[in-house]
Amino acid sequence: MDLFRTIYSSRPFGFDAAMLNGILADARRLNARDGITGALICRADIYLQWLEGPEAKVRQALERITRDDRHLEVRVHVSEPVTERVFGNWAMLDDPAATWIWTQAEVADDAVERATPEEVTGFFLRLRDEMNARDAG
């Protein structure tokens, strides 16, 4: 199976706990069906999501998200073939705190637009490492 990874950001519309829970429930159900794994970093001002799996399914998921009115200003940061999964244990790991990504002020000052693929990838690798350390501890 050809593995593919996409990392995108979007601005939440109407963000609250109920909406986030709905997004996560939908993502986990659809991702399990489609063989997609990944992670979501989310706050009231930003979603940053890593999707990995079969290329056609990842692209379909991104198209679905782009059409979802809960997401504004969808921006793809990384879109590439990969050799292995980083979040293979999680249909959709979520980190609602994510205090170590950009601050709200940085997001408001266009940090997302200036982000490099390495920077956004680094956020998720840190999240993976923290989750693995937590699970091992």
pLDDT digits (tens, 9 = 90+) for 99-114: 668 888 888 888 888 9
Grade residue 79 by pLDDT with cuts at 50, 70 and 90: very high
- Edge-first strand order for the sheet with 46-54 is 71-82, 3-12, 46-54, 37-43, 93-95
Instruction: Output the pTM of the full model.
Output: 0.85
Q: Hey, what domains does the chain have and what are their CATH numbers?
A: 3-136 (3.30.70.100)
Q: Say which DSSP state 101 is in.
A: S
